Every structure is written in structure tokens, then in C-alpha cells.
């Protein structure tokens, strides 16, 4: 053990320990401060010598191991410099290095020991931080994977984005980049309700969507009382949701969208869709009504005359009524659902008569006016049926989900069915009960067709349809009406 000493006049407190390197054969001597301190009073009490007893004190035992490391570093540095200790073989010559440089080299070797623990602590801390960062990254990865797998969260985020405008229409069509309409958002919110209720009975993720899931989902919708047309709509929306999530990298279940079947809807599986005849429409126009009922009737007839949806025919204003370059009066409007601009010729004077009655400033309507219209138009047509018997004609139809639930409860309580059936067991309702806000659009399109004056492209121009198949679904003629129309066109001619 090298000689240890302190260099202070203090009698209390702490003082730095020093050691001396004296290599007489190499001509090198240096006083080296050590990165250690001792209690001055105790050090002096033991004769200021390490071996005199201080090394056995509590403080001495604490620094003993550090001293061994420091002296080992000093000895190694001396050898690196080419010095030889007393008693060792060799001549101990210092070559090309000054004493000051040699001392600095030794101090640097001691500093390595001095900061060794700090470096080790730093390395341990860095390793702990790295491990924690990796653990946090793994937790975040798992959380993200769980969130990505949660169909409900993805759908909720999609709807929020649609509402705020953060998420816009994709694709390549003219609507690309536009905001989603209120009607589109409403459809997605309806799907959200359906998915939420189904999830309570059968939790699922993107990866669990397979043929068994598709079958289970459709069966559940059927048991909930949804009609085939509604089931197909929700299945179609779910397919679109699956594909969108796949494109965004939320899942890798590339076969999920292909496991669903969307069968064609038979007419018998749909609620009856009627149109208002010319006689019925004229009688409706002439009904003496006031207040909300008069307003509902007028809007409904505007819808019949323009062949538009309720979201469009309730928005008509004076600026929508213009003239072409050749002086033809037309109605020009951008459809809310499709954003298509349609130009509609004035097909019936009832349209301008009603608009003039309001000075072309139709009242501003509440957002739920379609519900008000649906309720009142049935009441109005029921009143009209007293003088127009055709509205009392009973038509086979399908009960809505709500009606099924009401009837099921009635059967359970009284054993009686609420809704009338025909001999074949089909639910039948009078035509006035089947009139809705959308009947106006269907009525206008059907009467356009019945004139026989327009080809399908001209009629689609008025209605705003892009697909002939969809347009044809609006033409609601019975088998008898279609046969009569064919016979009328044939006249007295023979087929062969």
C-alpha cells in the first residue's frame, strides 16, 4: 500500500487524501490527489497513518476497496509510461514524455476510476431507460393493436371524422374530397347502433370476421326483425367499413369482405312501395287544408312535380327557378345526397302555383321535418280516402321491425294479431298508410314513364339517377297496369 497523507491545517471536517509516487531510478516524483476524503480528526487520532488503525475504522473500510482500484490504476499507468517500480527488473527510463505529462496521464487513469461508478450507474440507468422504453413501446403496440382490432372504436372515430370534416369522401369521382352529407353520416350512425347491439351478444374483431361470423350477423339481424332490404344495407355498409379499415392498415384479414352474401331482394320481402295516381294527386291538391297539414301537402306535391328526394324538394327557393337560353322555365338544384346538379323542366302547373302561393319563399323547416311529413301525409291521405276510395285499397306489405315488436307483445298478452292478413296470410294495409315522403319522388318518376314521351336518359336527367337499374326500381306499376299499357300501345295490331 502506498503512503497516504493529507495536506491541510484543518482540525475538523473532511480532507482529501494524497499519495506520493517516487521513482528514483526513473527520475520521476509526483504528489497525486486521490478522489477520496477522510475525517481529519479521526485521521489525526490514528497518527495520520492508514496502517496505524484508520483502515479498520468504519470510514476506512468504506474506502478500502476504492483504494485498491485506484492503486491498481496508478500501477498500470506507470507501466504504460515505461516506468519501473523499485525492486523490479528494468531501468525505468522515461522516453519522450515530460514529468508534467506523465502526472497528467496518471491523474486521467485515476479519473477513470473516479467516474467508473458514475459511468456504471449511467450505463445501468440507460439500460433501464432502454428497457422501459422498449416495454412502453410494446405496451403502446399492444394497445394500438387492441384499438385497431376494435371495430366499434374504428367506426366511432370514422363518424366523428365525417362530422368534423376531418375525414372526407375518397375515390376518383366528382365527390372526391367533399364532406359527407348528413344523410350519409346518419346511415353510418345507424350501422354503429346495429354493431354495438350485436357486439354485446357476440364480441368480435377484424380478424374474427369469417363465414361463420357473416352467417351469425345476418341471422341476428333477421331475429331482430330487420327486413331483407335493411339487412342488405347494413351488410353492405359493414363490407365498406372492412375494406376501408384494411386499406388503412388496421387489419390484415384480406378475405373478410368476401365472406358476406347479399342476395337479391324479392318484392315479397319488401314493404309495399306505391305511387299516387293522377286522380288521387289532383284530389290531394284540391283538399281544403290549413296549418301544418297544408304545408305538408304542398311540399309533397312539389316533390311529385320535381321527382326529387325530400332533402331536395324541401329546399327549393326562388333562385332555383330559372330560364334556359331559349326561354324554357326550369328548376335547377344541386342534390344534397349525390351533389349532382339537375335541371328539371316545369312538368306541371301545380308546382308554380304552389311556389307563387308562398311568393317562392317556402318556410324554413326543422331538421326532422321528414318525420313530420311522414306522419301527417298518412293522416291527410286517410282523410282523402273518404272521398277517393282507391286510397282504401289494401296492399300486401311487410311489417317494420317496430310493428313486429308491437304485434309480438300483443300476441303474448292477448293472443291476437294487431295487423290484418289476407287469405294467404300476408299483412295488408290500405294504400293511404303506405304513403311516405319518398312516395313523392316515386310518383313523379312513375308518371314521367307513363306519359310514354321520354326515353330513359331524359327521365334519368330529371331524377338525377346515374344507373338505369336504380332508376327502374322507382317505376311502380302493377302487372295489370303494365299489361294495359302494352295493350294500349298495340292497339288493334296483331303481334304476328
pLDDT in tens, 446-466: 888 888 888 888 888 888 888
| Residue 263, pLDDT score | 67
Exposure string (b/e) for 98-112, b if CB count within 10 Å is 16 or more?
A: eeeebbeebbebbee
Nearest in space to 450 (alpha carbons), one of 207, 313, 311, 276: 276
The better pLDDT of the pair 352, 492 is held by 352
**Which three cell numbers mark 340?**
349532382
For residue 469, give the DSSP letter: H
Q: Which residues contact 103 (CB under 8 A, 6 or more apart)?
A: 30, 32
DSSP code per residue over 223-265: HTT--HHHHHHHHHHHHHHHHHHHHTTS---TTGGGS---PPP
Computed over every residue of the chain, the mean pLDDT equals 85
Task: Work out the number of other CB atoms within 10 angstroms of the CB of residue 13.
Answer: 10
d(CA 224, CA 226): 6
Name the 3-class secondary structure at 33. strand
Cβ atoms 433, 422 nearer than 8 A? no
Cβ atoms 262, 236 nearer than 8 A? yes
**Which three cell numbers mark 73?**
490504476
d(CA 302, CA 307): 8
Mean pLDDT of 31-50: 87
The values of phi and psi at residue 116, to 5°, are -60, -45
Instruction: Tell me: pLDDT of 354 over 50.
Output: yes
d(CA 209, CA 411): 37
- pLDDT for 110-144, tens place per residue? 888 777 777 777 888 888 899 999 988 888 887 77
d(CA 184, CA 190): 10
Mean pLDDT of 389-404: 87
Query: What pLDDT band is residue 194 in, cutting at 50, 70 and 90?
Result: very high
Counting Cα atoms < 13 Å in the Cβ hemisphere of 34 gives: 27
| Residue 495, pLDDT score | 47
Instruction: Tell me: pLDDT of 477 over 80.
Output: no
Nearest in space to 298 (alpha carbons), one of 430, 440, 431: 440
| Low-confidence winner among 178-187, 269-278, 284-293 (lowest mean pLDDT) | 269-278
Name the 3-class secondary structure at 324. coil
The better pLDDT of the pair 366, 69 is held by 69
Mean pLDDT of 422-434: 89
- Partners of 174 in beta bridges: none
Amino acid at each position: 500500500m502506498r503512503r497516504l497523507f493529507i495536506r491541510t491545517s484543518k482540525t475538523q471536517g473532511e480532507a482529501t487524501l494524497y499519495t506520493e509516487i517516487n521513482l528514483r531510478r526513473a527520475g520521476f516524483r509526483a504528489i497525486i490527489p486521490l478522489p477520496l476524503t477522510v475525517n481529519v480528526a479521526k485521521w489525526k487520532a490514528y497518527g495520520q497513518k492508514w496502517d496505524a488503525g484508520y483502515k479498520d475504522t468504519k470510514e476506512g473500510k468504506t474506502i478500502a476497496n476504492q483504494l485498491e482500484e485506484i492503486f491498481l490504476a496508478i500501477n498500470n499507468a506507470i507501466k504504460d509510461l515505461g516506468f519501473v517500480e523499485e525492486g523490479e527488473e528494468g531501468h525505468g527510463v522515461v522516453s519522450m514524455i515530460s514529468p508534467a505529462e506523465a502526472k497528467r496521464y496518471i491523474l486521467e487513469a485515476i479519473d477513470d476510476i473516479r467516474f467508473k461508478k458514475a459511468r456504471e450507474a449511467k450505463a445501468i440507468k440507460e439500460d433501464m431507460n432502454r428497457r422501459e422504453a422498449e416495454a412502453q413501446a410494446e405496451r403502446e403496440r399492444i394497445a394500438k393493436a387492441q384499438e385497431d382490432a376494435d371495430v366499434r372504436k374504428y367506426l366511432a372515430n370514422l363518424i366523428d371524422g365525417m362530422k368534423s370534416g376531418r375525414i372526407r369522401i375518397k375515390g376518383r369521382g366528382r365527390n372526391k374530397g367533399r364532406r359527407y352529407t348528413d344523410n350519409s353520416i346518419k346511415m353510418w350512425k345507424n350501422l354503429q347502433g346495429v354493431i354495438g347491439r350485436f357486439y354485446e351478444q357476440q364480441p368480435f374483431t377484424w380478424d374474427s370476421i369469417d363465414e361463420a361470423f357473416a352467417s351469425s350477423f345476418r341471422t341476428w339481424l333477421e331475429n331482430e326483425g330487420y327486413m331483407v332490404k335493411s339487412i342488405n344495407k347494413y351488410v353492405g355498409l359493414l363490407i365498406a367499413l372492412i375494406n376501408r379499415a384494411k386499406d388503412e392498415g388496421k387489419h390484415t384479414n384480406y378475405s373478410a369482405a368476401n365472406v358476406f352474401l347479399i342476395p337479391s331482394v324479392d318484392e315479397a320481402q319488401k314493404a309495399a312501395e306505391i305511387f299516387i295516381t293522377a286522380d288521387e294527386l289532383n284530389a290531394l291538391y284540391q283538399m281544403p287544408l290549413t296549418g301544418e297539414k297544408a304545408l305538408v301537402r304542398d311540399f309533397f306535391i312539389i316533390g311529385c312535380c320535381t321527382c326529387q328526394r325530400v332533402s331536395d324538394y324541401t329546399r327549393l327557393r326562388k333562385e332555383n327557378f330559372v330560364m334556359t337560353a331559349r326561354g324554357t322555365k326550369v328548376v335547377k338544384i344541386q342534390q344534397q345526397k349525390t351533389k349532382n346538379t339537375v335541371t328539371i323542366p316545369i312538368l306541371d302547373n301545380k308546382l308554380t302555383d304552389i311556389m307563387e302561393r308562398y311568393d317562392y319563399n317556402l318556410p324554413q323547416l326543422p331538421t326532422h321535418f321528414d318525420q313530420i311529413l311522414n306522419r301527417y301525409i298518412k293522416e291527410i291521405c286517410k282523410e282523402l280516402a273518404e272521398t277517393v276510395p282507391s286510397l282504401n285499397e289494401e296492399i300486401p306489405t311487410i311489417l317494420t321491425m317496430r310493428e313486429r315488436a308491437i304485434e309480438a307483445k300483443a300476441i303474448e298478452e292477448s293472443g291476437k294479431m294487431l295487423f290484418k292478413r289476407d287469405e294467404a296470410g300476408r299483412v295488408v294495409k290500405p294504400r293511404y298508410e303506405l304513403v311516405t315522403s319518398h312516395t313523392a319522388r316515386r310518383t313523379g318518376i312513375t308518371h314521367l314513364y307513363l306519359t310514354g314521351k321520354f326515353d330513359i336518359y331524359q327521365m334519368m336527367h330529371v331524377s338525377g339517377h346515374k344507373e338505369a337499374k336504380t332508376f327502374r326500381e322507382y317505376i311502380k306499376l302493377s302487372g295489370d297496369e303494365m299489361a294495359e299499357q302494352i295493350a294500349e300501345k298495340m292497339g288493334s295490331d296483331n303481334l304476328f
